[in-house]
A and B are shown apart, each in its own frame.
Chain A
Amino acid sequence: MGEIIQEEKQKGGKRRPKKHSTHIDMTPMVDLMCLLITFFMLTTAFSKSKVMEIILPEKIDDPNIERPVIQDSRTINVILGPENKIFWYPGRVKDSNNPPALKETDYSAEGIRVLLLERNKLLSKKVISFKEQMVKENPTMSRDSLLANIKRFKKADDSGPIVLIKAYKESRYANIVDIIDEMDICSVVRYAIVDINYVEEKMVQTAMAGSTTTPK
């Protein structure tokens, strides 16, 4: 801008042809651009949010429809407790007066994941080795066909655990997402979110009372 003002001054006086540089001072422009870039960078949501899809079983209103029966030996009951704790027991409660002991674990990689992978060894090994093999031999394979192949494995599987997820009333939304996520990581096929029943609530309460007395 300085140059332009200078030019006007000289017009009035002696008319001496003076070579002017054609440079325009770009500093204000750069300043403005910097500000705009910063603004856009801060307001932009670059990564689109991700979603985890869950499909819940339809509610059965008709009492005549037979409910599926599941084997006790394959069942794991996972109870999402308060304070980010997980309690689990295998099978089902046979005698409500003498319920099975709850085992406590957590959401970390050494917690519930170890248990689920152990139970689901056959399938998860298959899935992981298949993935590795595809990376080595056929890296151009499209994601969709890879997923379709894995889905086929999952469908054929009939030895993996059936996980019943039951949330205690004091658990949080993050717990649900975490546990469904764990199912995904351990490629557990059969899991369902089930209402917690009275006996199990009692079991959690006694387990919590027991665990609070022990120092953390």
Chain B
Amino acid sequence: MPKIKLHTKSPHIDMTPMVDLFSVVLTFLMLTTTMRQPEPAPIDTPFSVSDKTAPDANIMTLLLSEDNRVFYNIDNGSDTSFHFKGKILTEMGTRYNITFTPEEVKQFEAYPSSFGMPIQNMKSFLNTKDAKEREALQVKGIPIDSTDNQLALWVLVTRLVNPKVQACIKGDNDAPYPLVKKVLDIMQDKKVNRFNLITNLEATKVMLTEE
């Protein structure tokens, strides 16, 4: 009886299919990814059954945090040729007698997240790179009291520069109602009556009782 020769196999595993698969997944993720922007304050959005997706361009977002702060963000989408953000900042500057250098304007255009500080602090905010310092400048949020209502001016200037802008409100679950009311009032004074409240999707079933 002939001996059966056992082929001694090397313990190598062929990883080519694995690599193939990985590269496909990686390419997919890289192409579809939209980076999550870190928010200056933790925002826990409430749930709703609405399944309308948020607009992704020409929006101004108001962040209402739990500790009574208001943050503001302007997002003009991928279309950066208009330089809306820069124009808005320069316009805001002229109203408060602050001149922003082209570098600062550029910084502002590139800043992807929401900001919340009095316009007087904007210069030092744009010139610092340190995240801690930036956080320290944002402890107060945007002033919304009637003596110095900077939020109203931001909204006004944004709408002057970009008339197509839509308002989004991203509030924390625990944001107090008086703050919400105040912000809505400010917006309505500036003739913004249509709001998109950013929520998480939640499935609900309606049960109708039969009699």
Contacts and interface: CB of A to CB of B under 8 A. Distances in A.
Interface stretch (A9-17, A156-164, A165-173): A165-173
B196 A53 contact: yes
A29 interface: yes
B193 A169 contact: no
B193 A58 contact: yes
Quick one: which of A27, A50, A128, A174 has the most chain B CB within 10 A?
A: A50
Given A40-B30, A52-B52, A30 B199 contact: no
Interface in A19-71: 21, 23, 25-27, 29-30, 33-34, 36-37, 40-41, 43-45, 47-59
A208 to B, nearest CB: 15
Nearest to B44: A174
B197 A54 contact: yes
A202 B172 CA distance: 27
A182 B31 CA distance: 38
A26 B199 CA distance: 44
A7 interface: no
Contact of A57 (B47, B48, B193, B200): B193
Interface residues of A, number: 55
Nearest to B45: A49
A137 B201 CA distance: 27
B188 A51 contact: no
A117 interface: yes
A183 to B, nearest CB: 11
B195 A54 contact: yes
Contacts of B56: 48
Contacts of B12: 23, 25
A199 interface: no
Nearest to A59: B188
A1 B177 CA distance: 64
B22 interface: yes
Given A27-B15, A40-B33, A33 B26 contact: yes
B197 A36 contact: no
A49 B48 contact: no
Contact of B206 (A172, A180, A186): A186
B180 interface: yes
Contacts of A169: 176-178
Contacts of A146: none
B25 interface: yes
A51 B38 CA distance: 19
Contact of B173 (A48, A173, A181): A173
A128 B208 contact: yes
Nearest to A42: B36
B15 to A, nearest CB: 4
Given A26-B19, A40-B26, A58-B193, A50 B200 contact: yes
Contact of B177 (A36, A55, A175): A175
Interface in B6-57: 10, 12, 14-16, 18-19, 22-23, 25-26, 29-30, 32-36, 45-56
Considering the complex of A and B, which 8 residue pairs feature the smallest CB-CB distances, nearest first? A173-B175, A51-B196, A40-B29, A174-B173, A173-B171, A52-B50, A26-B15, A33-B22
7 contacts: A36-B26, A37-B22, A51-B54, A51-B199, A57-B193, A170-B176, A180-B197
Given A50-B54, A52-B52, 4 more contacts: A51-B168, A59-B189, A173-B179, A177-B47
